[in-house]
A = this chain, B = another copy of it.
Amino acid sequence: MKILLADAIFTDGTIYRNHGIVFDKTIIEVSSNDELRSRYGAQCVELGEGSVILPGLVNAHVHLEFSANRTTLTYGEFMPWLSSVIASRDELINECDDECTTRAVEMMLSNGITAFGAVSSYGFDLDPCFKASQKVVYFNELIGSDPAMADALYANFQERLFASQELKRSGFYPSIAIHSPYSVHRILIQKALKHAKEKDLRVTAHFMESPAEREWLDTDSGPFRPFFENFLKQTRAANTAEEFLSYFKEIPTLFTHAVQASHDELSVIAQNGHSIIHCPISNRLLGNGVLDLKPLEDKNIPLLCGTDGLSSNYTLDLFEEMKIALFMHPHDDLLSLSQKLWRGVTSLAAAALKLNCGKIMSGYDADILVMRVNYPINGQLPLHLINQKGIIESIYIEGERVK
């Protein structure tokens, strides 16, 4: 059992000054420092001035297999980026061996990310994810819109899923990703989701990332048309957005991006208990626009915040992602948005991924950051922690110190 007394605990929107935490694998108690001192005496570790205890951060959406990218991919607009991905895919994938993937996993840990949802296209990141210190929701991704290839693609997907299911450790959750409405055949989606429902697997999908996707799904036209004609001899989108969302009925899903989603689509997302993962840096670098946060708030859709992968980001750091979000939404109230973003990388992200973490509260897993700030703590701490990050002094996952 460990007892840490801090200058502040910040969890789920509230700052508790002069509070401490008692934990082993899970959190046993959160109380005032005075109370804990009187009960536990010398067992207490005094963290002192400027210490802040936070829940470990939860990165709901990351692609690790493209972690070799630094300047290979073309930024600015979605279609040139996608073309550059296709042109350099083999090279980038080959360059990202286990060591490269592990560096990305460790980059996340050093930035306080104690749980992540990894979207795996090939399964090449399976071993580093299994060996990671973090909680990992390992999303095996299903992709393929060509009916002629359906069986082979599903078999490959199943093989990867089964391989991940054979690996057992606490905090490792084999799961399912459906790539996107434009890239997966309905038969495949329905088959995979039936399996997810039967086995109670977690599910994620990309949805309405780019203007090009909107145009292609709505009208079978736009810059995606030559792309599909050239690569796959397709002249019609694999699904409409409406059809696509309908498959996920009764399966609460983490939809990534949704920048171009319509109000009707957001209503469907709300009604079905889905959540949305906001990746502001990726959205900007790929020219996809800015997610409008207002309708999400109006419809009570949980807003998570993710880093996406190094194919569309310069780092894997939710502090940086939150900071960028503050500036990409310059008309939203600064403090309220800070609080929203904090929930989106802690309690709400953990809930959407069905993880027992993301809150400093008795009964939750002891996934904990101890940070040190060199400035006076006040009511604007949620904002200051984003802009003036401070030092992550130690990290605990399920009570074990991992940093």
Contact = CB atoms under 8 A, between A and B. Distances in A.
A296 to B, nearest CB: 17
Interface residues of A, number: 35
Interface stretch (A13-21, A146-154, A182-190, A323-331): A323-331
Interface string A65-78: 00000111011100
A22 B171 CA distance: 58
A283 B284 CA distance: 20
A314 B374 CA distance: 13
A219 interface: no
Contacts of A335: 75-76
A108 interface: no
B287 A380 contact: no
Contact of A280 (B290, B327, B377, B383): B327
A206 interface: no
Interface string A349-390: 000000000000000000000000011111011011001100
Contacts of A268: none
A285 interface: yes
Contacts of A402: none
Given A314-B388, A374-B70, A388-B70, A380 B327 contact: no
Please classify the interface of chain A as helix (H, G, I), strand (E, B), loop, or mixed, using the class held by over half of its residues: loop
Contact of A75 (B70, B76, B328, B383): B383
B287 A384 contact: no
Interface in A315-333: 324, 326-328, 330-331, 333
Interface in A24-76: 70-72, 74-76
Interface in A177-204: none
Given A70-B388, A281-B327, A285-B334, A380 B314 contact: no
A176 B354 CA distance: 60
A154 to B, nearest CB: 37
A128 B258 CA distance: 50
B333 A330 contact: no
A289 interface: yes
28 contacts: A70-B374, A70-B375, A70-B376, A70-B384, A70-B388, A71-B376, A71-B377, A71-B378, A71-B381, A71-B384, A71-B388, A72-B376, A75-B383, A76-B333, A76-B335, A280-B327, A281-B327, A284-B326, A284-B327, A284-B330, A285-B334, A287-B334, A289-B330, A290-B331, A314-B387, A314-B388, A327-B328, A328-B330
